[in-house]
Copies of this chain bind each other. A is one copy, B any other.
Amino acid sequence: MSANERAPGWNPPIRILMGPGPSDIHPRVLAALARPTVGHLDPFYLQLMDDLQQKLRQIFRTENRMTFAVSGTGSAGMEAAVVNLIEPADRMVVCVKGVFGQRMADVARRAGADLLCVERPWGSVFQPEDLLPALERHRPKVVGIVMAETSTGASQPLVEIAKLVHDHQALLLVDAVTSLGGMPVEVDRWGLDVVYSGSQKCLGCPPGLAPITFGPAAMELIQRRKSPVASWYLDVRLLSSYWGSERAYHHTAPINMTYALHEALALILEEGLDARFARHLRHHRALKAGLAALGIDYAVEPSYQLPMLNAVRVPAGVDEGAVRRALLERFGIEIGGGLGEFRGKVWRIGVMGYSAREANVLGLLAALEQLLPEFGYSKFDKGASIAAANQVYVEALK
């Protein structure tokens, strides 16, 4: 192979990642990724695993012993949560209001669940009363719900739903892929039984790992299983021997990705959870003020808008894909298009982790001010979006 063949594109373009994830990676995390590889049973690595688990517990706000990182992406975390809890013919309710609820239902169906899907329109969230009939009728062992639906930008409140689910003797399984590290996820206080996330959103690590936590009721249910977990790779009983005190070999852990996640979690704890959540909220407000000045609306009503994932309606007549391509090619800024029902109708703008910075938010607004008129939309005052966003930032400094 000639040097020539290798050359094309081998240096990645520098992007500003403001889509639905991955988000920008802090230089300290990239540096951690490139540290020398050690063996997966090396005393250093075992200590790093302990420390990683301890950090994950702080971020999940839990004492759960079985808190670790699945060796796969967020979707592997979803699968690990479902296949460990569900045995064939077990009754499960999945709340569907976007792509990731649909995906959870698909995973549950493959696990053999006796599944009841409760649906709400895309962009909305579930109130306890929406779930009650399903709980009474189906009497599920497990209820699955997505906290931050990445396809719609809707933020699902969990406290009352967790209470209702437990009142019906079921366990609550929560997708926190997009929320963890960007807004409060109170595993113990809210009573969430199994919660999984992904490394590449508000945690600020490249994609490839799925933090997960199993509470005592979930572990008890898993210990009582009559059939083996369909997945050897994701079997928590086997994994607990490696992530537990025995450190028995299961599979070869993704060493360097673990370095990166460890560093990303260290950054989170250095910043402090509250400060980090406030930062995500501040940039969300600035972005929202700027978008409002551009006349761009959210796909979700204000009280349920996620801070880190802003799903907004594409102005009528604008070719949404062309705008995204121009953002990427001329400004190096990535934002996301719509998925499923929202395809072609919304943009998904992430302010997640290290991406949640003034320069990114202001830069995106400025780029949109420049681009949108080219694509036939100019119903806004020039400079107004920057002024509106800056006002939010200046007020936050007071």
Contacts and interface: CB of A to CB of B under 8 A. Distances in A.
A286 to B, nearest CB: 23
Interface in A20-54: 21-22, 24-25, 30-31, 33-40, 42-45, 47-48, 51
Given A13-B44, A252-B21, A230 B228 contact: no
A48 to B, nearest CB: 7
Contacts of A34: 30-31, 33-34
B208 A208 contact: yes
B72 A72 contact: yes
This protein's copies in its complex? 2
Interface string A37-77: 11110111101100100000000000000000001111110
Contact of A35 (B11, B106, B109, B251): B11
B36 A207 contact: no
A198 interface: yes
A254 B257 contact: yes
Given A12-B36, A231-B110, A71 B208 contact: yes
Interface string A248-268: 011111111101100000100
A236 to B, nearest CB: 14
B39 A17 contact: yes
A181 interface: no
A270 interface: yes
A232 interface: yes
A206 interface: yes
Given A71-B72, A232-B106, A253-B73, A22 B1 contact: no
A256 B6 CA distance: 17
A370 to B, nearest CB: 21
Contact of A72 (B36, B51, B200, B233): B233
A258 B207 CA distance: 10
Nearest to A230: B230
